[in-house]
Amino acid sequence: MNVTVCEVCSGSTFKSLFEKDNESYQQCVTCGLIRIYPQPSDERLNKIYNEDYPQIWGNDENVYRPLKEKLNRMIFNYIKAREREKTEKSGY
């Protein structure tokens, strides 16, 4: 199987957690990221974001949109922090 590196830490070792609907859920052993592999198509991602998110946070876009943006920022900051950490460790 052609395994791409981790999107967060660039680690290359994943352990398979389970499979559902012909998709493999795997976890990066280095940073703990859980991902679906292969990455879902844009169509599938749109379906997930457009259908499931409003169901979780209510159907009022004014309610869930700020939450979604906050979550996106948190993920972005997390990834940035990991990159900084990695850069500091490698001594550059």
Residues near Zn ion (CB under 5 A) are 6, 8-9, 11, 28, 30-31, 33
Work out how close the CB of 67 gets to Zn ion at its nearest, in angstroms, rounded to a whole number.
25
The 8-class DSSP code of residue 59 comes to S
Q: Is the CB of 32 or the CB of 66 nearer to Zn ion? A: 32
Indicate the residue type of 78.
Answer: Y
Would you say 26 or 28 has its CB closer to Zn ion?
28
Q: How far is the CB of 34 from Zn ion (least distance, A)?
A: 10
Q: Which of 7/52 has CB closer to Zn ion?
A: 7
C-beta separation of 7 from 38 below 8 A? no
CA distance 25 to 37: 6
CA distance 83 to 85: 5
